[in-house]
Amino acid sequence: MSRPDVDFTNAPKRQATERGATIHQTFEWMLESAHADYHKSRIHRKRKVEDAPEPKKKHVRMSPIHARQIPSGQGRTIIVPGKRNCARHPMETLAPTGVMIEHSLIDMVFTKNGCRKTVVRYVGKQKVCPCCGKKYLPPMIVRLGQRIFGHSFQAWAIYQRVSLRMPVGVISRATYDLFFIELDDVTILDFVRQFAVEHSVTEKRILKRILAGPLVHVDETTINIRGENQYVWVLTDGHHVILRHTATREASFIQELLHGYDGILISDFYGGYDALPCRQQKCLVHLIRDLNDDLWKNPFNMEYECFVAAFHDVLTPILEDAERFGLKARHLRKHKKAIDRFYERKIFGAPPHSEVTATYVKRFIRYRDSLFTFLDHDGIPWNNNAAERAIRQVAIQRKISGWFSAKGAPLHLRLLAIAQTCRFQGKSFLRFLLSGSHDVDDYEDRQSPKNRSKTASRLLLR
């Protein structure tokens, strides 16, 4: 039931003057422009997720790695060389014992038509030292150790866990239903640990490229570590992503990470970023939302409405030129005079009477040097969309998983950051893992839609 003349407590009517309605409509356009600008980025309201109760401990079945039976179907056999010299007697050449050593791995083969399970058998000769009688296995088989799953199989499981956000229990059921392989939760989490350790060098290279760029987007969100709220931070330049986990919201580690950085930091209005010594651009989307929400709450406050209307008149032509010409300083610098007039009349003019107006006057004074930095530099966004997009996957995974372990969270976040970097660059995270590369920038995904279209264009031109 809805009546225009009744204001229900659970659904209050939004009231506004004629000029206020016009301001609301323009602000909605500004917020929508953040969804469809040249970066094609999106901004979503953050939703607070209630702390999930600590899950009940359940019995975890240990990995049956030692008791597993390797399938006996057809596969691939690789002949590996035996060891040449004895460790104790380097000058002695080892002699074959006549015993063949075999180590089998369950792996996957990826083709244009899909993927299938296979068994890779490594076969080599056992050798013995004629002096000391010590026997040696082939070095390749020694390096394999107790492994029974190949690199491609592990990459597939990592892809399911990180990119597709599937719970480990679902991955276990999928491997059995698709490949008749019993894969328990402990083994999958061990895959995550191994790949995260292996790709620590990948993370370092991504961070190095971010710090070498002209801008850094930063944002943070909460994460549940066994019932305790902690924080995940994101740093991105729109092409690379780094995720870090901290127990508190203090930004001291950001200061250490960005020590000596001479680019521009784009962030929201969290006070922890204010102490950073680099130049900054505050996200105007957050400011517009706050102004718009308070205008809905104070529809008949004429002083505040005039204040918002003045800022609306200054910001509208700036964003119109940004959409028309892009983030080019030569087209945006001309608006600095209008901003100076706004500060002279509305900020430093007569003192405000209403509390809400006084709050925003203080805010505009505090952040005067960081609200319009994008007017003086090419390619600097006026919003923090890139960070919002990069950290959104953490929020989605948080809803699915509910909580993380203290040891597992940093490992998962490292792989998720690499997956987001691949996504921002239009590359497949799965194919990147399969390639064995440790540098996302140098890796060329020839099967991506973008590269396929380029190849097709070249063929048509021939």
Q: What is the pLDDT of residues 225-247, one digit of tens each?
A: 888 899 999 999 999 999 999 99
Alpha helices, DSSP H, located in 100-167: 139-144, 151-162
Mean pLDDT of 438-460: 66
3 state SS of 444: coil
Please, which residues have CB within 8 angstroms of residue 351's CB and are 6 or more apart in sequence?
A: 358
What local confidence, expressed as pLDDT, does residue 290 receive? Answer: 94
Ramachandran area for residue 369 (φ above 0: left; ψ -120 to 50: alpha; else beta): alpha
Find out whether 103 and 95 touch, Cβ atoms under 8 Å.
no
Please, which residues have CB within 8 angstroms of residue 376's CB and are 6 or more apart in sequence?
A: 329, 333
What local confidence, expressed as pLDDT, does residue 7 receive? Answer: 57
Q: What is the pLDDT of residues 244-281, one digit of tens each?
A: 999 998 888 888 888 889 999 999 999 889 888 889 99
Burial of 36 (0-12, 13-18, 19+ CB in 10 A): exposed
- Of 90 and 207, the one with more pLDDT: 207
Q: Is the pLDDT of residue 67 over 50?
A: no
pTM, 2 dp: 0.80
The DSSP bridge pattern shows strands 264-267 and 228-236 to be unpaired
Mean pLDDT of 77-82: 88
From 356, 361, 221, select the one nearest 293 (Cα to Cα).
Answer: 356
What local confidence, expressed as pLDDT, does residue 130 receive? Answer: 85
Find out whether 187 and 171 touch, Cβ atoms under 8 Å.
no
Mean pLDDT of 73-95: 82
What local confidence, expressed as pLDDT, does residue 61 receive? Answer: 37
Q: Is the pLDDT of residue 402 over 90?
A: no
Q: Is the pLDDT of residue 64 over 50?
A: no
pLDDT band at 460 (very low <50, low <70, confident <90, very high): very low
From 73, 143, 162, select the one nearest 109 (Cα to Cα).
Answer: 73
pLDDT band at 458 (very low <50, low <70, confident <90, very high): very low
Mean pLDDT of 22-40: 69
Q: Is the pLDDT of residue 99 over 60?
A: yes
What local confidence, expressed as pLDDT, does residue 38 receive? Answer: 44
> Residue 112 and residue 96: Cα distance in Å, rounded?
42
Q: Is the pLDDT of residue 27 over 90?
A: no
Mean pLDDT of 185-200: 93
pLDDT band at 48 (very low <50, low <70, confident <90, very high): very low
From 390, 388, 407, select the one nearest 243 (Cα to Cα).
Answer: 390
Q: Where are the domains of the chain?
A: 71-148
Please, which residues have CB within 8 angstroms of residue 93's CB and are 6 or more apart in sequence?
A: 84, 85
What local confidence, expressed as pLDDT, does residue 19 receive? Answer: 79
Evaluated on CA atoms 366, 370, 372, 376, the torsion sign reads positive
* DSSP letter, residue 226: T
Q: Is the pLDDT of residue 147 over 80?
A: yes
Q: Is the pLDDT of residue 30 over 60?
A: yes
**Which residue in the block uniquely carries the two structure tokens 């995720």?**
243
Q: In this structure, which amino acid lies at residue 288?
A: I
243: β partners: 234
Q: Which two tokens stand for residue 354?
A: 């209403």
Evaluated on CA atoms 379, 416, 171, 67, the torsion sign reads positive
Mean pLDDT of 382-397: 91
> Residue 253 and residue 248: Cα distance in Å, rounded?
11
**Which residue in the block uniquely carries the two structure tokens 């957050």?**
286
Q: Is the pLDDT of residue 6 over 70?
A: no
Q: What is the pLDDT of residues 346-375, one digit of tens each?
A: 999 889 999 999 999 999 999 999 999 999
Burial of 419 (0-12, 13-18, 19+ CB in 10 A): buried
Mean pLDDT of 114-138: 87
Q: Which two tokens stand for residue 120?
A: 């890779």
What is the rounded average pLDDT for all residues in the chain? Answer: 84
> Residue 79 and residue 82: Cα distance in Å, rounded?
9
Mean pLDDT of 409-422: 95
What local confidence, expressed as pLDDT, does residue 58 receive? Answer: 44
Burial of 187 (0-12, 13-18, 19+ CB in 10 A): buried
pLDDT band at 68 (very low <50, low <70, confident <90, very high): low
Query: Rg of the chain's alpha carbons, rounded to an integer?
Result: 29
Please give the distance of CA 139 from its chain centroid, rounded to a whole number. 38
